[in-house]
């Protein structure tokens, strides 16, 4: 056995260096019986270990970690500013003062389905007062910071709700300014009315139905309606100013512009047509049209049958007045003819009376207005009347009958009147009885009837005993 002089470790004789400290043995021979105590040896300080250089991957990893840490710091700064409610108020203030309506509008939250636009919202805030609203919003933000309950901001009705909204897994809190809308409805008087308000259309399913149109923010909106299932097509449009009342609901007050239109006609049994469609009702059943509107583009007429069973149509008029009279030309013609028939009958009776007077006094002026100036018949009758001055002695006419036997209508302006006339004619020498059948032609000229022809069709003369 031998011992290492450096560390004192016992080694076998065969080893050439110390397995403990690495000290070499130089031809040392150990005496088996001699125990040699190891010398105290002080280990010299180990030389400094040199570091291995970092690999590229290690350097890249450290760089990435540094970037991530930096990005997190920057993101925290950015997000803190983004979700800073005071900065939001400042941005609102700038947008409002610059009248940047779109940016101002986008700073608020609107519930899904709410009809809203920047113009209406800006006008509503202006009416409320931006400074007042800015102060109200700031007060609600301070309540959130103090962890107090917030209150709804009112503008007659509920206006804005300020609430905290956790974001990014709750790491940050956003403040949301939610606009509380107005529920808008309309009262529809008839089924299947189409009503459009602010771009949203609804259709009524029953008469006198209240329909909820949707949610809107206060402002001015265009409205329109159409109704095609009544006696005439109805429509209308206008603008409506929507306000925010205490219960956040409002029923649109629509001016339907419904009218009563009085309807009359020559024929009460005629079927009325409005807008080209039959109402299925007679004039007598539709004394007044309702609901109706004054509309110069809507035509109205009636259809009936004449005395021969032929279908006839009235004049076509437009609904531009609250009173409509539908004349039938054939009926009007018949009425005019009937009136003129009575007129010429009266005219004939007057003529015969005046003719008797003219002959008696031999004065043509009594009947001159019955004839057209310059006509041959006027000249002939003027001569006949005045020739009675040449009769010697006494004469006398006694008109007995002036009967009308028939009237024929040649046209609306020309009529043939057939008569049977009897009279006695006496002179100093004889007494005669006459029976005559005549044809009178009456012509309507310049709003007046004239006798344009008198024809003796048959004359019977007998002597009186």
How many domains does the chain fold into? 5
Residue 123 placed within a domain: yes
Residue among 242, 152, 234 at smallest CA distance from 195: 234
pLDDT at 34: 44
Last residue of one domain, picked from the residues 154, 179, 204: 179
pLDDT at 39: 47
Last residue of one domain, picked from the residues 203, 224, 252: 252
What are 154's two structure tokens?
A: 């009112």
Same domain flag for 159 and 192: no
pLDDT at 31: 43
Last residue of one domain, picked from the residues 203, 229, 252: 252
Same domain flag for 118 and 170: yes
Residue 218 placed within a domain: yes
Residue 43 placed within a domain: no
Rg (CA), the chain: 60
Same domain flag for 302 and 399: no
Give CA–CA dist 10/36, Å, rounded.
Answer: 11
Give CA–CA dist 219/116, Å, rounded.
Answer: 9
pLDDT at 78: 46
pLDDT at 393: 87
Residue 70 placed within a domain: no
pLDDT at 283: 94
Give CA–CA dist 70/66, Å, rounded.
Answer: 6
Residue 348 placed within a domain: yes
Same domain flag for 271 and 358: no
Same domain flag for 91 and 160: yes
Residue 74 placed within a domain: no
What are 300's two structure tokens?
A: 């109205």
Contact 317, 324 (CB under 8 A): yes
Beta-strand pair 109-110/172-179? parallel
| Mean pLDDT per 10-residue segment, the chain (465 residues) | 72 67 58 46 55 71 74 51 78 96 96 95 95 95 91 93 74 85 96 96 96 96 94 92 91 93 94 92 90 92 92 95 95 94 98 97 97 97 95 92 98 97 94 98 97 98 91
Give CA–CA dist 8/21, Å, rounded.
Answer: 10
Same domain flag for 209 and 275: no
Same domain flag for 367 and 275: no
Q: In this structure, how many other beta carbons lie within 10 angstroms of the beta carbon of residue 459?
A: 11
Residue among 203, 218, 26, 241 at smallest CA distance from 121: 218
Q: Among all chains, which residue has been given the structure tokens 């290492």? A: 4
Residue 64 placed within a domain: no
Same domain flag for 155 and 207: no
What are 454's two structure tokens?
A: 């008198």
Query: 400: domain range?
Result: 334-463
Give CA–CA dist 400/235, Å, rounded.
Answer: 71
Per-residue H/E/C for the chain:
CEECCCCCCEECCCCCECCCCCCECCCCCCCCCCCCCCCCCCCCCCCCCCCCCCCHHHHHHHHHHHHHHHHHHHHHHHHHHHCCHHHHHHHHHHHHHCCCHHHHHHCCEECCCCECCHHHHHHHHHHHCHHHHHHHHHHHHHHHHCCCCCCCEEECEEEEEEEEEEECCCCEEEEEEEECCEEEEEEECCCCCEEEECCEEEECCCCCEEEEEEEECCEEEEEEEEECCCCCCEEEEEEEEECCCCCCEEEECCCCCCEEEEEEECCCCCEEEECCEEEEEEHHHCCEEEEECCEEEEEEEEEEECCCCCEEECCCEEECCCEEEECCHHHHHHHHHHHHHHHHHHHHHHHHHHHHHHHHHCCHHHCHHHCCCCCHHHHHHHHHHHHHHHCCCCEEEEEEEEEEEEEEEEECCEEEEEEEEEEEEEECCCEEEEEEEEEEEEEEECCEEEEEEEEEEEEEEEECC
Same domain flag for 338 and 459: yes
Same domain flag for 452 and 348: yes
Residue among 346, 326, 319 at smallest CA distance from 232: 319
Same domain flag for 365 and 455: yes
Same domain flag for 379 and 318: no
Contact 435, 460 (CB under 8 A): yes
Residue 156 placed within a domain: yes
């Amino acid at each position: 056995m031998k011992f290492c002089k450096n560390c004192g470790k016992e080694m076998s004789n065969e080893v050439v260096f110390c397995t403990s400290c690495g000290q070499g043995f130089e031809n040392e021979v150990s005496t088996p019986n001699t125990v040699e105590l190891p010398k105290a040896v002080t280990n010299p300080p180990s030389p400094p270990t040199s570091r291995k250089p970092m690999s590229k991957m290690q350097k890249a990893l450290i760089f990435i970690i540094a970037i991530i840490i930096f990005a997190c710091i920057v993101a925290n700064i950015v997000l803190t500013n983004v979700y800073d409610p005071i900065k939001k108020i400042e941005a609102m203030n700038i947008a409002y003062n610059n009248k940047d309506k779109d940016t101002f509008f986008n700073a608020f939250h609107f519930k899904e389905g709410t009809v809203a636009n920047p113009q209406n919202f800006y006008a509503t805030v202006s009416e409320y007062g931006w400074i007042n609203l800015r102060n109200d919003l700031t007060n609600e933000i301070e309540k959130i910071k103090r962890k107090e309950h917030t209150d709804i901001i009112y503008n007659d009705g509920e206006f804005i709700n300020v609430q905290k909204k956790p974001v990014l897994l709750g790491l940050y809190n956003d403040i949301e300014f939610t606009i509380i809308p107005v529920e808008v409805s309309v009262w529809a008087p008839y089924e299947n009315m189409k009503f459009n308000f602010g771009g949203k259309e609804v259709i009524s399913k029953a008469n006198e139905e209240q329909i909820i149109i949707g949610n809107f923010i206060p402002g001015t909106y265009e409205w329109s309606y159409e109704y095609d299932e009544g006696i005439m097509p109805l429509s209308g449009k206008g603008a409506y100013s929507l306000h925010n009342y205490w219960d956040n609901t409002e029923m649109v007050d629509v001016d339907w512009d419904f009218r009563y239109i009085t309807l009359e006609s020559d024929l009460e049994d005629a079927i009325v047509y409005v807008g080209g469609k039959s109402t299925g009702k007679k004039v007598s059943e539709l004394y007044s049209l309702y609901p109706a509107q004054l509309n110069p583009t809507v035509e109205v007429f009636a259809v009936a049958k004449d005395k021969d069973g032929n279908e006839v149509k009235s004049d076509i008029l437009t609904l531009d007045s609250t009173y409509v009279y539908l004349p039938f030309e054939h009926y009007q013609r018949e009425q005019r003819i009937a009136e003129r028939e009575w007129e010429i009958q009266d005219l004939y009776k007057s003529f015969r009376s005046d003719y008797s007077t003219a002959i008696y006094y031999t004065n043509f002026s009594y009947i001159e207005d019955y004839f057209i100036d310059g006509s041959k018949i006027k000249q002939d009758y003027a001569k006949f009347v005045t020739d009675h001055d040449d009769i010697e002695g006494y004469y006398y006419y006694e008109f007995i009958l002036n009967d009308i036997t028939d009237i024929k209508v040649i046209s609306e302006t020309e009529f043939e009147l057939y008569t049977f006339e009897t009279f006695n004619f006496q002179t100093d020498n004889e007494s005669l009885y006459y029976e005559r059948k005549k044809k009178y032609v009456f012509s309507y000229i310049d709003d007046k009837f004239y006798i344009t022809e008198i024809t003796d069709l048959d004359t019977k003369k007998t002597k009186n005993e």
